[in-house]
Structures are given as structure tokens and as C-alpha cells.
Amino acid sequence: MKKVWRNLPTLRLLIYAVALYILLMLLSSGGILNDYLMIIINICLIYVILATSLNLINGITGLFSVGHMGFAAVGAYVAGTFTTLVWKLPNDGSVSTTLLFIVALVLGGIGAAIVGALIGMPALRLKGDYLAIVTLGFGEIIRTIINNIDAVGGPRGLLGIPALSSFTIIFVATVVTVLILRYLVYSSHGRAMISVREDATAADLVGINTTKYKVWAFVIGAFFAGIGGGLLAHLIQLAHPTQYGFYASFLVLIVVYIGGVGSMTGSILAAFVLTILEKYLLPMLLQWAGLGVEWRMVIYSLLLIIVMIYRPEGLMPREAKFMIPEDH
């Protein structure tokens, strides 16, 4: 009974996920959700992956990374290179194509994880604003390097990427990401990461290898960001350096802090709210008001300021500060 009780939250999450998947598929097949709305839902799910993986770094481990979309860029270009230039996969929906696409996504995640390790190790001596500046600089370095590699399109971007990111693949990838991160947070490794966030010096004194857990936070967060980047590239059929600049990283950061730092549930909720606002509602409002798209940054900045003043814990506070219940 103890084992069943311990796994009950996971079972509930799986039941909710299956119910949501069936509901969305029924609405799509019934014509209630058109192709455009399904694309927005897919982008929402991808931002769930990006936001929860960043929350592992910023919220759980207490580091301050700003260039998260740089990892997504690595994943997008690595996966896109394999599917477009190396294997030249057709968009035929066959089992072999799907399997190779999954392999490409994993390779993109591994490439992003390697970059995450390279960034994490030299940045270990830094914290707070200094770490934010370093991660932002690394993100721009990644984008600039990609922009100057002609083999993957350079400033033109990687074109002709097959549309392999179906709703089912994106949905499953999102659920798997959330489940893995939840298991990690509620494990002994997760408690060690939380101790680094609360007091790194005290964690060192009790024998926790804070250096290892800081690096692992970057590696794991970068891996899932790479998966999200690969899914996004194969959804919109394009990987371009401008997609992974400061604005994109800033948007993911807003999702994490509005949802609640350290709250995976808050990141999921905020990812849907902010993505629908970004892709659907805000363009209509700006067009109606006769304003340009550059006003988005002003609106998001004001929104972040308001949330930090009136609800600094975000939409959803940390779930019991991620402390492990006794039955765990």
C-alpha cells in the first residue's frame, strides 16, 4: 500500500494526461480545433518542456540561467541536420521515419547537454547576476556560431526540415519530460539540488558535492531544452538563429517566474497562458491598437514587474517548497 500511495501522484498525472490527449484529439477530429489552434497547442506543450527544464536550473538548484534558448538552438540544429541533411527523412509517417526522428531528437538533446556541461563547469564560481551575464553571453555565442556555419544554412537558417513533430509525439515528449523531472525532484538527487539552492555552503559542509549537482542541473536542463528545440524546428519546419536570441530566452524566463520559481505545476500553467497570449491574443490586440510587434517586450516587462510586486511567488508557489513528504 505504501508503494501504491507513493506512486499515486504519478498515476493521477498519467490519467489526466491520457484524458487531455483524448479530449484534444476528439476536438481536433470534430473540427472544433482547427490546424492553427492545434499548432498553438503544440507550441504550448513545447514551451512546457522548455520552462520545466529551465525551472530545474533556476528554481530547484537556485542558479540563474538566462540563455536557455541557446540549448534549444543546439538541439534544433543537431536534430534538423540529421533528419534533413544526413538521413533526408520523408514526411511519410512511417514507423522507421518516426524512430529515426526520435533518435535525432535524442542526439539533439545529447548535443545540448554537452554544451550545458561546457557552460556549467566554468560558471560554477559565479552566482546571481554574474552567472546570468555569463549564461546570456554563452547563449549569444551559440547563436553567433550557428549564424556563421554555412553547412547548416548560416544566416538563412536550416530550411526544408520535414514536419515530423506530430501532436502525439510532442504530447508524449512533454509528459515524459514532466514525469522524469518530477521523479528527479522527489529523489535524493533532487533534495541535494534543493540544498544547493537553500544554502550551498551548508550543503558542502554536510558532504554534498555541490559542484556535481550544479553541473548536472545544467546538463539535464540543457538536454530537455535540446529536445524542445528539436520538436519546435520540426513543427515549424525551420531553424533560424533569430529564433534563439535574447527575446526567446527572456520569454521562457518570464514563463518560469510568472508560473512560480520552483513550481513545476506553475511552469506548466504559465507556459500555456503566456504562449496563447504570445501567439494568439497579443498579435490581435496590438493590431487592433495600431501598435507594432516590438511592443510585446514592453507588455511582458510590465507584466513581470506587476507579478513581482503583487505576487512574487508567481501564479503557483513552490509545491510545499519541494520538500519530500514522509511517505516518499
pLDDT of residue 228: 96
SS3 of 218-278: HHHHHHHHHHHHHHHHHHHCCECHHHHCHHHHHHHHHHHHHHCCCCHHHHHHHHHHHHHHH
What's the pLDDT score for residue 65? 87
Which of 315, 296, 319 is CA-nearest to residue 307?
315
According to the model, what pLDDT value does residue 326 have? 37
- pLDDT value, residue 304: 81
pLDDT of residue 240: 92
Domain ranges of the chain: 2-28+37-322
- Would you give per-residue pLDDT tens digits along the chain (328 residues)? 455 445 566 778 888 899 999 999 999 988 888 888 899 999 999 999 999 999 999 989 988 888 899 999 999 999 999 999 999 999 888 899 999 999 999 999 999 999 999 887 776 777 777 888 888 888 889 989 999 999 899 999 999 999 999 999 999 999 999 999 988 998 889 999 999 888 888 888 888 888 889 899 999 999 999 999 999 999 999 999 989 988 888 889 989 988 888 888 889 999 999 888 888 788 788 888 888 777 887 888 888 888 878 877 777 765 544 444 333 3
Instruction: Answer positive or negative: Cα dihedral of 4, 318, 18, 189.
Output: negative
pLDDT at 5: 45
Residue 161's closest CA among 234, 223, 82, 269?
234
pLDDT confidence of residue 314? 78
Q: How far is CA 68 from CA 25, 29, 85, 87, in A?
A: 31, 35, 26, 28
Q: What is the pLDDT of residue 72?
A: 95
Give the Cα separation of 286 and 40 in Å (integer).
Answer: 18
8 Å CB contact between 131 and 63: yes
- Residues in Cβ contact with 128 at an 8 Å cutoff, skipping those fewer than 6 apart: 64
- Residue with cell string 483524448: 22
Which grid cell is 325? 513528504
pLDDT at 12: 80
- Cβ proximity of 70 and 228 under 8 Å: no
